[in-house]
Structure 1
């Protein structure tokens, strides 16, 4: 089972959902605004993908984040992300409830190619 974590108004998430639906691929979508992530889930994502791949430093949320939080990111990333889930690149992918190193955050051709091999 493919699980997608993202925001329902995120263009990349909408594209991923549309692509999955049009290819008849079963998935579950978790809206990060409605579902609070657990610290263990975030730690697992960071361990698999790295903090640099998880955080979207081009986002408005990042630009509006106070300097103290930005400076604490290396030591307090999980709590900051829980407070500001839109800091993450989206969508975040899981296969069978686990992150997969081939499916890093985002939605590009390589994501589609990898998923097509699974189904």
Structure 2
């Protein structure tokens, strides 16, 4: 199975994850939400594995700039719609490896995955 790192190219955590994967000779594909887009299939699969609460970055600028109405009464469906419209709100990185999804990056975490 392939390994795919999902995120945004200019994100510092993405850069650290890419560096770790490269230095540890892990072949991977990088999927940039801004350039490559995001599909309902990815959102649904990642949400089923990780949960929408874990995927939604409430600390980022994009979320903070949403209207109070958009931020109020979040449900799974509402959150996924917002993530599709504003992929910068997805916590980064999300790693897909051997059919499993992992979120965030810590060297020890990646060592246990690979």
Question: What is the TM-score with the length of structure 2 in the denominator?
Answer: 0.89
Shift of 1:107: 0.3
Change (3 A) 1:109 1:22: closer
Query: For residues 66 and 23 of structure 2, what CA distance do their matches in structure 1 show?
Result: 37
Once residues 18 and 74 of structure 2 are traced to their aligned partners in structure 1, the CA distance between those partners, rounded to angstroms, is 30
Poorly superposed stretches of 4+, deviation over 4 Å: none
Question: 2:109 maps to what in 1?
Answer: 111
Partner of 1:56: 57
Unaligned 5+ segments in structure 1 are none
Which residue in the other structure is 1:81 paired with? 83
Q: How does 1:1-119 map to 2 (within 5 A)?
A: 1-71=2-72, 73-74=74-75, 75-96=77-98, 98-100=99-101, 103=102, 105-116=103-114
Shift of 1:27: 0.3
- How far apart, in 1, do the equivalents of 2:35 and 2:106 lie? 25
Give the CA RMSD over aligned residues. 1.5
Report the alpha carbon displacement of residue 72 of structure 1 after superposing the two structures with TM. Answer: 5.2
Deviations 1:48-88 (A, max 9, x none): 10111101111111111111211253132222111100101
Q: Give the deviation of 1:115 after TM superposition.
A: 2.7
